[in-house]
Amino acid sequence: MGNVKNKTIVITGASDGIGAAAARQLHADGAKVVLVGRSESKTKAIADELKADYYLVDFAHLNQVKPLAVALLKNYKTIDVLANNAGLIWNKRTVTGDGHELTFQVNHLGPFLLTQLLKEKLIKSKATIITTASAASMAGRIDLYNLENEQNYGAFRAYADSKLANVLFTREIDRLWGPDGVAAAAFHPGVVASGFGKNSNKFFDFAYNLPFSKYFLATPEKGADTLVWLASTVPGKDWKPGQYYAKRKQALAHKQADDQALVSAFWDASNQMIQKYL
């Protein structure tokens, strides 16, 4: 595997699960990991364990994102890797104080906003941007006229659409920022044993949190493996930027990811939604 020694790697959703596992491995490999989480107690616990810096943000409140970005821009000379890993699945359609459907906002708009706010430093650093997507993206559909599932809402549908949004976001980052040296990838971590399914619909809550779920779900370490691999290797040499990965291999992405007109229109729509927070 490549060398991450002394690289600055920012990981959102780093307080547990895949994010914490990736942080531990990358720290062990010599990276300077910077943890971003929603829960102060959980994020601080991982930070104390790794003697790492940490910051708090809740993507359900978009006005928290710019102060985070300002701190990251001020405190780090480079951001070599940005891992957009925070995410959730929610049990009923909920509109945030920002006026957006919660799953769409936390899984897409929050990381989209953070990435945009860090743009100049990411380009200067020739950074790698890694976004935790999901195989659920294959069941998603981006409808420009129903982006936030106002019609026919379902918890899994909203989640699948948000994960497809992550794939489209990755494609457009590659097209727009790739010429400036930024590399982007999305990946499927597997179905991971963590607290992820809490507050989802009854099936997910049941499946993710059964006492014996650990026997058929991947460990957070296995789930983090492709993230660590993407962060540690050389884009353009070891993997192709702009693509979707699973188990360290390029995987089939949703056909909408190949519709450039849609990808660009979705990027523009997302940009409009975050303008007031830039």
Active-site positions read 159
Q: Which residues contact 15 (CB under 8 A, 6 or more apart)?
A: 35, 37, 38, 39, 42, 43, 45, 46
- DSSP reduced 3-state for 11: strand
Instruction: Assess contact for 15 and 38: CB atoms under 8 A.
Output: yes
**DSSP-derived secondary structure letter, 106:** I
Two tokens at 31? Answer: 């990276």
φ, ψ dihedrals at 133, nearest 5°: -100, -140
Instruction: Assess contact for 125 and 77: CB atoms under 8 A.
Output: no
**CA nearest to 230, candidates 80, 107, 115:** 80
Two tokens at 129? Answer: 């941007």
CA distances to 120, 135, 170, 233, 234 from 181, rounded to whole Å, are: 12, 27, 14, 15, 12
**Exposure string over 18-54, b if 16+ CB within 10 A, otherwise e:** bbbbbbbbbbebebbbbbbbbeeebbebbbeebebbb
Two tokens at 17? Answer: 């699960």
Q: Per this entry, what is the length of the chain?
A: 278
